[in-house]
Copies of this chain bind each other. A is one copy, B any other.
Amino acid sequence: MIVILKENAPKEQVKALLAEFEAQNLTIHYSKGERSTLFGLVGDTAHIDMEKVLANDVVADVRRISEPYKAANRRMHPEDTIVEVCGRKIGAGYFSVIAGPCSVESQSQMEMVAESVKASGAAFLRGGAFKPRTSPYSFQGLEVEGLKLLSAAKKATGLPIVTEIMSENQLDEFEDVDIIQVGARNMQNFRLLKELGHCRKPILLKRGLANTIEELLMSAEYILAGGNSQVIFCERGIRTFETCIRNNLDISAIPVLKRQSHLPVIVDPSHAAGNTWMIQSLSRAAIAAGADGLMIEVHNNPPAALCDGAQSLDMPQFAALMTDLKRRVEFEGLELQG
């Protein structure tokens, strides 16, 4: 961390500030120039509040040199982390596809879709029981009933299930869930993240629509710091000025996350695109860029879907997509799970 002092900062106050840092076991490198004076702080600076330093009268600016995340940092953990669930692996060369409808609607639907996506090569079944909807007048999900239908589909097909949690209150209800998803809008719901740090299930952490990659890493840090080391990142498109598509899939998030962290990264092309015709192209790009998996919306009858029908593939479309993607997973030397 580098602290830049104001011109003509009174010596007494500067000394007091330096003493404060020394008391925190930080080594100080002081550097006085003609126009500007600065010092570098060396040691464990992750706990330093930059805002607080900046509030000091003698400080002109503060810059962080090292990353503020530790447990999620590849420096601290050079090997790729593999998240393993019910015998399926994600990360470090193992590639998994999560598929299913946006929302759980009925038992027959879930069983039909689960059977179909399994046959096509999906490793996990997704389905929303609790739905975060922009409008209070939209379908909000089957809630606890939806979780039961997911469990039934899991029992019928053997596919482990992935579903979204909305609040730390719900953890008990999620006992039968295999991977707990944190949605984009909850990426910085810190109370939820803290509780997930204490549970022993893998967490699929979606990036918020306008959250930086560093913020995503810091949210993972909340979970890891609590003792849960099984976090999977999910890039699902970011909000920009562009209006002709719903969100812009941030393809560069894949190499950045892989370089900065050891945790697996999957991509959700369905939410990024908001339509079906772009899913193949984005899925291919994600695999080529180094993703460890994909999460794709599949519905038995998209025009009748209670949620996100416009972006849901039907079952034959998904089967065709998987045929294409399998060739690509193999080309990359990855091992498809499922």
Contacts and interface: CB of A to CB of B under 8 A. Distances in A.
Interface of A: 2, 4, 27, 29, 31-36, 38-40, 42-43, 46-47, 49, 51-52, 54-57, 61, 63, 65-66, 68-69, 130, 132-140, 166-169, 185-186, 188-192, 194, 209-210, 212-215, 218, 221-222, 225-226, 238-245, 248-252, 254-256, 259, 272-273, 277-278, 281-282, 284-290, 302-312, 328, 331
A190 B56 contact: no
B244 A248 contact: no
Contact of A252 (B65, B213, B222, B282): B282
A309 B51 contact: yes
Given A2-B63, A242-B238, A288-B328, A40 B42 contact: no
Q: Which 7 A-B pairs have the closest CB atoms?
A: A55-B309, A210-B210, A33-B42, A29-B31, A288-B288, A54-B310, A284-B288
Given A135-B46, A239-B241, A66 B36 contact: yes
A136 B63 contact: no
A135 B33 contact: no
Contact of A55 (B43, B209, B312): B312
A242 B215 CA distance: 10
Nearest to A187: B185
A273 B254 CA distance: 12
Contacts of A35: 42, 66
A206 B213 CA distance: 23
Contacts of A310: 51-52, 54-55
B55 A65 contact: no
B290 A281 contact: yes
Contact of A254 (B132, B194, B281, B328): B281
Contact of A243 (B40, B185, B212): B212
B166 A169 contact: no
Contact of A218 (B54, B65, B135, B311): B135
A135 B68 contact: yes
A144 to B, nearest CB: 13
Contacts of A249: 251-252
B38 A65 contact: yes
A210 B312 CA distance: 26
A221 B138 CA distance: 12
A30 to B, nearest CB: 8
A213 B242 contact: yes
Contacts of A47: 137-138
A52 B305 CA distance: 6
Nearest to A251: B251
Contacts of A54: 309-310
A277 to B, nearest CB: 7
B240 A252 contact: no
A271 to B, nearest CB: 11
